[in-house]
Amino acid sequence: MLEFNMPVHEGWNIVHIAMQVPQAHQIYVCPENCLRGVVMTAYEMGAAGRFSCVSVSERDLIVDNLETVTIDGASDVVEEMHAGGEFPPVIFLFTVCSHRILSCDFDYVFKTLREKYPDIIWVHAYMDCIAQKEGLYPDMKLRKAMYEFIPKTHSDEKIVNLLGSEVIATKENNDIVAYYESQGIKVRQLSDIHTFDEYMQLGNACMNICMYKSGDYGVEAFSERLGIPYHLMLPFFEDLDLPEIEKSKNITEKNNGGLPTFSEVKEKYREFQKQIENTPVVIDSMAIVCPYSLAEFMLDQGFNVTYVISDGAPAYEKEIAERLDKTHPELQTILPADPRLREETYRQELRSAISKDSSEIHEEICNDNFQAPITKDGSGKILAIGPMAAWVFKTPYFVNQIENDGAYGKLGMLSLLEKMKDAIANPKPIEKTVLQKGIGSSRCCFTL
């Protein structure tokens, strides 16, 4: 089934995700039309040296069998790497839709490769796009596979793992980091890891935390296998509690990591609402992990939230969405895959419905010589929280981030508030901003 795909590419794909494992190599076995996207990603992020392809032709599918093509192709890649140096410690071997359709014997493929190259950890990863409409997505399976070979080590009560998402959390924008580090506990993220040996020590944490639902499946499986306490802590826009670490419960003197109160956060949001008054606000699910929670919170503070761009409320936000249907029936959802969005006339209708004075402003935005438009009393402005919202509503006033940008809790809410203030004060060109792949990847460690 064909569907519309917005020209917004800031999210992380499977190439970016697997590159977080230091010194790992990726091999993709698939037809050339499927290779195009992953090849471009690897080159764009400067990681071509850790990436290889095995092209599968039509003849390979008809005359040969995929088991032989996959084994021989992967073996050729390994021999080439060995001729130029040492074997990589781990290889992510990506199979695709063709393997699935033709019932490739994966057990035979990986058994053969592991016997042939016993010094390499072979990880089965997937790029089977046909499976995206049911069951687990390829990125969810990858986030499980990348932890399956990590062994159990001693438990260190001074280390907490924050896993499952690609963006970096900081003590400035995340209650989890600020609170635990104020107690002398290290909050470890994949961006802190620079070698494969360090990566293999991830099993020594006293607690694993995940803030992103797509990472939950993998981090929970990793935690259960090694017996590490696990918490899924989704970044709802509420007054959230943090779990105590067992060994720290007996500490009598604790501080709260300098966290603000929830009342202080709400007051700051109300002050901003008075500044922008009835400016329409649009929230998208690429930028915000819990978009309906943010919508409800902002509506409660008096903001004019008009749309949420999302595939619909996920299970963890169903109750919030149902509540919003009753309290704010005017709030509407736009599906990112709606084919009508490809038409400029339809997008203009959406813009005009919430901002009657916006047409003149938006004409300037795609110009290569873009300059910040000047408006009187904020008329015509639409505040977009996320790149999809910016593109659909063609507004230069947008917060450019994905996956909450690592933000969580009250500090996260204040961090987003500052970004919204900056978005209103400093408009930016849409087309030059939302096309960058894997936003935030330059901050992470990609060991070449």
In what helix (H) or strand (E) does residue 293 lie, and over which residues does it extend? helix 291-300
Q: Which of 78-87, 88-97, 119-128 shows the lowest mean pLDDT across its residues?
A: 78-87
Q: Is the pTM of this model over 0.85?
A: yes
> Domains of the chain: which residue ranges?
14-145, 156-255, 262-425
Return the half-sphere exposure (C-beta side, CA atoms, 13 A cut-off) of residue 208. 26
Name, in order, each residue with C-beta under 8 angstroms of 309's C-beta and a sequence gap of 6 or more: 282, 283, 284, 285, 286, 291, 333, 334, 335, 336, 386, 388, 389, 392
| Best CA proximity match to 309, nearest among 329, 338, 280 | 338
**Domains 14-145 and 156-255 agree in fold:** yes
From residue 370, give the alpha-carbon distance in Å to each of 391, 394, 429, 433: 15, 13, 6, 12
Contact residues for 18 (Cβ-Cβ < 8 A; gap 6+): 24, 26, 92, 125, 142, 146
* pLDDT tens-digit series, residues 261-284: 999 999 999 999 999 999 999 999
The burial of 171, by beta-carbon neighbours within 10 Å (0-12 exposed, 13-18 middle, 19 or more buried), is given as middle
Task: Tell me: pLDDT of 433 over 70.
Answer: yes
Chain segment 384-402, per-residue pLDDT in tens: 999 999 999 999 999 999 9
As a whole-number percent, the residues of the chain with pLDDT over 90 amount to 68
Alpha helices in 30-151 (DSSP H): 32-44, 58-62, 66-83, 97-101, 106-116, 138-145
According to the CATH classification, is domain 262-425 in 3.40.50?
Answer: yes
Domain 14-145 classified CATH 3.40.50.1000? Answer: no
For 216-259, the pLDDT digits (tens) are: 999 999 999 999 999 999 999 999 888 887 655 544 445 666 79
Residue 129: its pLDDT value, please?
76
Tokens representing residue 48 in the block: 């071509």
Asked whether residue 293 carries a pLDDT value surpassing 50, the answer given is yes
Give pLDDT tens digits for 154-207.
888 899 999 999 899 999 999 999 999 999 999 999 999 999 999 999 999 999
Under CATH, to which class is 156-255 assigned?
alpha beta
pLDDT for 2 equals 61
